[in-house]
Amino acid sequence: MVLAAVLLVIVVSYVDSDDYCYNEPHCDPYAWGDTFPSCHPLLEEHHSPINLDHPITRNESLGSLHLEGFDVIQTGHWTLRNDGHSVVLQVGNGMSVSGGGLPDVYHTIQLHFHWGGPATNGSEHTMDRRRYPMEMHVVNMKSIHPNMSAALDDPTGLAVLGFFIDVVYADNVQFGHVSQKLSSVAYKGQTAKVKPFPLMSLLPKHNMSQYYRYYGSLTTPPCSPVVVWTLYEVPVYISWSQLAQFTSQIFSTEEDAEQVTPLQNNFRHIHPTFSRVVSGSKEAKLLRGMASCPLRSAVAVHLLQIILLAGFISGQ
């Protein structure tokens, strides 16, 4: 009887092949290839995420993307959902992206997030090895395809726009459209209606011409190598408390689960670029270590103040 129960559990967990995880040994990103062949490490040369290593070569023909419908309020309602791996905002049918070197028009389907834990950062891509606190992905499907399985058979079937999310002291009011609804989708399977808002209000709208381009994969199973990646250089800023709503109030388990597991560190490991080209857009700044420069000069100013203060005190 016990044996039968154990066997049943094994069979059920085997049959439930749609499932994967981030933080347990048998279903973490390194094990995804056991269940999803195209996540296998041997196929790594097409994979995402990657580290963006400066200096990056500029491609003068990469101008701003055309984001159709991003600055208007769409009709109907949007749906926020906890799928056990992320929080996903389904955004209806009114938006599309094109231009900026994309080979076609792509319909916007959904956006979702990757994050770390209370003390760790969780962006998927890194910039000069720096991992940002979070990353947002706006997923778009090539408009010629009737469904996702057709898009996953096309080497450029998807275009994903990636945005780093960094943390400041002030709340990002626009980001509240999403973060205020998070408590309604704390557990896997829960959904909440979201009133449509202009998606552009979530994005770094003054810096949309500054991005990086490379060809890679989905960062979640089935890891299909079909993604034209556009990674924006300038992050979106949210507050520490908005970040904490992701890192400590979302669970990968259902509400009635015996053991409740926080959904944390839902990012895939970095993959080598090998011979792939990463290009900078025409207006990308491309400065090495740009992100850490202001910090370094701030530290220098503090040191100077301490030295001056020490001199002042000892002079008394």
The pairing of strands 96-99 and 134-142 is unpaired
Answer yes or no whether residue 26 interacts with ligand NAG by CB under 6 A.
Answer: no
Token reading at 146: 């009737």
Select the binding partner of residue 137 from ligand NAG, Zn ion, none (C-beta < 5 to 8 A, by kind).
Zn ion
Answer yes or no whether residue 133 interacts with ligand NAG by CB under 6 A.
Answer: yes
Q: Which of 38, 86, 220, 279 binds ligand NAG (CB under 6 A)?
A: 279
C-alpha distances (whole Å) from 145 to each of 20, 66, 179 are: 26, 20, 32
Select the binding partner of residue 62 from Zn ion, ligand NAG, none (C-beta < 5 to 8 A, by kind).
ligand NAG
* Residue 106, SS3 per DSSP: strand
Token reading at 260: 């409740």
Q: Which of 7, 8, 10, 277 binds ligand NAG (CB under 6 A)?
A: 277
Angle at 166 between CA 102 and CA 65, to 5 degrees: 15
Residue with nearest beta carbon to Zn ion: 137
The rounded distance, in Å, linking the Cα atoms of 206 and 189 is 36
Q: Which of 146, 294, 311, 315 binds ligand NAG (CB under 6 A)?
A: 146
Chain centroid to Cα 79, Å, comes to 18
Answer yes or no whether residue 314 interacts with ligand NAG by CB under 6 A.
Answer: no
| Residue with tokens 């890194």, as numbered in its chain | 126
- The catalytic position among 46, 47, 85, 137 is 85
Q: Provide the minimum distance between the beta carbon of 8 and Zn ion in the complex, in angstroms, as a whole number.
A: 33
Binding mask 89-128 for Zn ion (x = CB under 5 A): ----------------------------------------
Q: Provide the minimum distance between the beta carbon of 218 and ligand NAG in the complex, in angstroms, as a whole number.
A: 17
Contacts of 291 (CB under 8 A, 6+ apart): 127, 128, 130
Among residues 173, 209, 199, 223, the alpha carbon closest in space to that of 31 is found at 223
Select the binding partner of residue 206 from Zn ion, ligand NAG, none (C-beta < 5 to 8 A, by kind).
ligand NAG
The rounded distance, in Å, linking the Cα atoms of 256 and 187 is 9
Q: One-letter amino acid identity for 87?
A: V
Answer yes or no whether residue 167 interacts with ligand NAG by CB under 6 A.
Answer: yes
Q: How many residues bind Zn ion (CB under 5 A)?
A: 1
Select the binding partner of residue 54 from Zn ion, ligand NAG, none (C-beta < 5 to 8 A, by kind).
none
The rounded distance, in Å, linking the Cα atoms of 278 and 281 is 10
Token reading at 264: 């944390």
145 is catalytic: no
Q: Which of 56, 62, 87, 141 binds ligand NAG (CB under 6 A)?
A: 62
Q: One-letter amino acid identity for 116?
A: G
Q: Which of 47, 85, 131, 137 binds Zn ion (CB under 5 A)?
A: 137
Residues belonging to the active site: 85
Give the footprint of ligand NAG on this chain (CB under 6 A).
Answer: 59, 61-62, 101, 121, 130-133, 146-147, 149-150, 166-167, 206-207, 210, 234, 277, 279, 285
